Amino acid sequence: MEVAEGRPADSATARGNIRFEGVRKVYREARGEPVPALERIDLELPGDHSFISLIGPSGCGKSTLLKLLAGIEQPTEGTVTCRGQRVTGINTRISYVPQGKGLFPWMTLRDNIELPLKIAGLGAAERARRADEWLGLVELRGFENHFPRQLSGGMEKRGSLARALIADRPVSLMDEPFGPLDAQTRLTLQQHLLGLWEKLRNTVVFVTHDLVEAIALSDLIVVFSPRPGRILEVVKVPLPRPRDVLTVYDYEGFNALYKPLQRMLLRDRA
């Protein structure tokens, strides 16, 4: 297993990268005890065409880390930088698929997919053209006037991917986007996402609790300790691309990655 070298945070090559420096996050509720969610996080991730997975037990702060990068939560201590710009408010360089959220139920599939373009101020004709292209890419042509309740779980997730990726941002954050789906649908979606990512060449930061999914998709895996989350390891995934998620178990090097990571994830469990 190859552990990725952390680069010094002030390195000249770090401009386009995503950086967390000395980040702590404590949630303070009006009532009750403060909840420490992330301990001291020093992490530098490549900001160009990389697929990065965050993995760790429930409650270790994975979603919190994405929210800090999206700018919808602020760190209690430390700084977050996204491609050379300090994140102090809503980060407009990213797109974001929040955990457990699907398409807006009151909008048709087409309106959902066009929404980021509408927010960006594009005209109706250009929106329609790009939405048609994306409906094709996620194989949902013919369903554009359906509402989310009229789609299967997998179709809705493909719609969510289109809505996240249509805005063409350099970084996409995806928080357990395939969470509650059956294993077969997940595999199909994983393959689909990899195909889109190969075309887009953006950076994806992907949260999952499924180690095989993390290995199948990623260039780098960031492993978190149980809450309050600390980073245990950043591991490179040297498997060749393009990858076939169905046969990832058969790739040379799969076991050498899987076994120590699985042990690391199980270590602190009761």
Ligand X SMILES: Nc1ncnc2c1ncn2[C@@H]1O[C@H](COP(=O)(O)OP(=O)(O)O)[C@@H](O)[C@H]1O
Residues that bind Mg ion (CB under 5 A): 63, 99
Q: Which does 26 bind (CB under 5 to 8 A by kind): ligand X, Mg ion, none?
A: none
Q: Which of residues 23-42 bind ligand X (CB under 6 A)?
A: 27, 29, 35, 37
Cis peptide bond N-terminal to 148, omega within 30: no
Query: Shortest approach of ligand X to residue 242 CB, angstroms?
Result: 29
- Give the pair of three-digit tokens for residue 71: 């700018």
Cβ partners under 8 Å of residue 12, min gap 6 = none
Q: How far apart are CA 206 and CA 223, in angstroms?
A: 12
Q: How far apart are CA 70 and CA 82, in angstroms?
A: 9
Query: Shortest approach of ligand X to residue 37 CB, angstroms?
Result: 4
Query: Shortest approach of ligand X to residue 108 CB, angstroms?
Result: 30
- Give the pair of three-digit tokens for residue 212: 């095989």
Q: Which does 184 bind (CB under 5 to 8 A by kind): ligand X, Mg ion, none?
A: none
Residues 213, 215, 221, 222, CA torsion sign: positive
Q: Which does 59 bind (CB under 5 to 8 A by kind): ligand X, Mg ion, none?
A: ligand X
Answer yes or no whether residue 13 interacts with ligand X by CB under 6 A. no
Q: Where are the beta strands (DSSP E) in the chain?
A: 18-27, 35-45, 51-55, 77-82, 85-86, 94-97, 171-175, 203-207, 220-224, 231-236
Query: Shortest approach of ligand X to residue 144 CB, angstroms?
Result: 33
- The binding track of 41-80 with respect to ligand X, each residue x by CB under 6 A or -, is -----------------xxxxxxx----------------
Query: Shortest approach of ligand X to residue 74 CB, angstroms?
Result: 12
Answer yes or no whether residue 227 interacts with ligand X by CB under 6 A. yes
Contact 223, 236 (CB under 8 A): no
Instruction: Specify the residue, 24 or 209, whose C-beta has the smaller distance to Mg ion.
Output: 209
Residues that bind ligand X (CB under 6 A): 27, 29, 35, 37, 58-64, 227
